[in-house]
Amino acid sequence: MALRHVLPTLVVGLGLALSIGFARAEWDPVERSISDLEAAYTAGSTSVVEVVQTYLARIAQFDQPSTSTSRYPLNSVAQINPSALADAARIDSLRAQGATTSQYPLLGVPVLVKDSYDVAGLPTRVGLSILDGANTPGGTTLTALNDAASVARLRDAGAIILGKATMSSLAWSTGGIDNAFGLVRNPYNLNRLPGGSSSGSAVSVAANLAMLSMGGETGGSIRIPSTFNALVGLKTSLGLIDPEGTWPLRSGRDVVGPMAKTVADVAIAMNALVGPSPTNPYNNTPLYPTDAPGSIRPTDYTSGLTLTALEGKVLAVPRTMMVAAGDSGFAPEGTVNDVIVSQFSAAIGVLRSRGATVIEVDVPATTTFYTTLGAATPTTVGFGYAYPTTQPGGTTPDNSWTIWATASYLNDQIIQYDDPVIRDLHEFNQWLQAGATAGAGSPLDRLGMFDSTSGTWSGVVGYIDELTHAYDAGLAAGFATSLDAQRGLQAYTSLRIDQFDGFLANPHLSDDPLTTDLDESTITHIDALVAPTYGRVMSLVPASERIPGIATGDYSGGSAYLLGRLEANILGAPAIAVPMGYFDDGTPLSLQFIGGFLQEQAILSLAYGYEQATHWRHAPNLDPFVPEIDPAGFGSVASLLMGMLGLAERPLRRRRPSTTER
């Protein structure tokens, strides 16, 4: 039986939520924070085991297709960790022995991680049905032998890994449909997609099925689902948190990071997640030439969270991120829906009322990139930094180094599962093509199609096929051994230092009398950029899955495009999405702060100031479509569940050995 269904089957079979006559734990997880949870533990009003039981019950009630009383379960949890209750009991023992949050910042905090993360003993499916066991093409699961580096740090901090969250297949899309498990619904409007690729990570926390989750981002996969689930999502600086043991879509851009209901919870998570690691593939690269990733960090990411955080700060709105629908002009990011423009204008008023100066700017790095490497016809002419080209001395940029680095990383990642069926990237590609040919997985998200005329695959399969060709040709090479990768990382690092970080530190602005009464030439620095996060509302679910009677507004204006993609995803700067209100149909929207490299603490502070001034976040109303199960008697069944699940103690931390080449 699949791990996804282990706990729900027990819940149904035992009738825990309906008939067992035990008292339920006192902990109510709805809209509670990590600080609330710690206060309840300290007061002795609940235990870690009781809290984990409560979250598992909510997952069975609201989320799992096999147990939910609704026709429309959220489908955000891919699998339950069968050791969750045993781990909770062990944390209760630690607390009884005097353990505190000063030692373990996430002591007793229930966490879900995206299914692209390795968790020891659990399959890593990456949203692909071919990795869902014996009844699928491939006939296997890639079961992790060790925890990903970030999962190990979560365990070290005392967190409980509840399980794995659903995701867009191989993180390929921003919609959030999982090829292995199907449609993931947005709890704020069940007829809309939740955003992806970290869809389950967002939905589960938004619906209070976990306190905290972990996502991954290549081009918006943390910020986009955070936006449409009224969450705080932090896209971290490139390489700051070791991504080892996770599946990237594109090496050189992918990061991992936390998603939560509050800025404070994200900051607390950062205290646990950031630290040097011997397995970090960004060690000794141009991003961190003298200091290892994670070694440059504040003592406490929560120290800047004050109600006066916005006072005296200078925030800049990039003109290229605020082109309203129907306007024309140089707008590489696309246009922004008029509803978002209106809500963002109101947000600007809040920022100013809290003491911030808000101006409009043109970011030099944006102009440079979109007139050279990022132009419709890419060129290195005028870029100003050495970058790989398609031929020696040529002017056409060559991004193949990102393909080679990803192929190298994924091949190493697959090898370490020691699986008898899929042993390397080449075999993974073979089984992926077989699965696509057989129509494997959800019909709502096919893996790809083969074009017999061109002899090429589309979609996820086409991308993996491209990586495999590089691998088979002997071109796969990680950052440490690829000269082109070194050049590419150095070029983007130089552009960021000179024309983004350098611009924020010393903007040299001219007075702009049309936008503010302030003389912009007097501004000596910019604390962060501020902009909407996404250009329009998230798409509707496929027509066949729509629920009658749920209103969905017409917000067709604006581009379906993440804003700030250059600064955050290509140049590697940190960005944080914060709730900014709701569309009329209930779908959330957000703004984001984008800061200088490694300035997570600064943008957390700004986000906190805005969050505390607005309090936009509220829980989704699940009652009409997921009726409440009578909770009488769920609570004190830990020993029964633990016995039936065969739970055994295991150490807080399991880390794979360091590799010589990542």
Position 71, amino acid: R
Tell me whether residue 197 is one of the annotated catalytic residues. yes
C-alpha dist (Å) from residue 356 to 309, 439, 598, 607, 610: 9, 54, 22, 12, 10
Helix (H) or strand (E) holding 163: strand 160-165
- CB burial of residue 212 (10 Å; 0-12, 13-18, 19+): buried
| 220 backbone φψ class: left, alpha, beta (φ>0; ψ -120 to 50) | left
Distance (Å, rounded) from C-alpha 541 to C-alpha 562? 19
Distance (Å, rounded) from C-alpha 417 to C-alpha 121? 11
Out of 114, 164, 235, 261, which one is annotated catalytic? 114
Question: What sign for the dihedral angle of Cα 344, 349, 350, 356?
Answer: positive
Tokens for 610? 């805005």
Out of 221, 237, 277, 482, which one is annotated catalytic? 221
Distance (Å, rounded) from C-alpha 187 to C-alpha 108? 26
Helices 263-273/600-614 angle, 10° precision? 160
CA-based nearest residue to 660, from 281, 373, 106, 387:
281
Show Cβ contacts of residue 356 under 8 Å, excluding neighbours closer than 6 positions. Answer: 310, 311, 312, 313, 314, 315, 609
Distance (Å, rounded) from C-alpha 7 to C-alpha 90? 19
**Residues paired with 457 in a beta bridge:** 450
Tell me whether residue 235 is one of the annotated catalytic residues. no
Tokens for 148? 């990903």
Tell me whether residue 114 is one of the annotated catalytic residues. yes
CA-based nearest residue to 477, from 413, 414, 409, 423:
409
Contact of 646 with 72, CB cutoff 8 Å: no
Between strands 456-457 and 450-451, the pairing is antiparallel
Out of 197, 204, 408, 590, which one is annotated catalytic? 197
Distance (Å, rounded) from C-alpha 448 to C-alpha 457? 6
Helix (H) or strand (E) holding 469: helix 459-472
For Cα atoms 231, 566, 284, give the angle at the middle one, nearest 5 degrees: 95
Catalytic site positions: 114, 197, 221
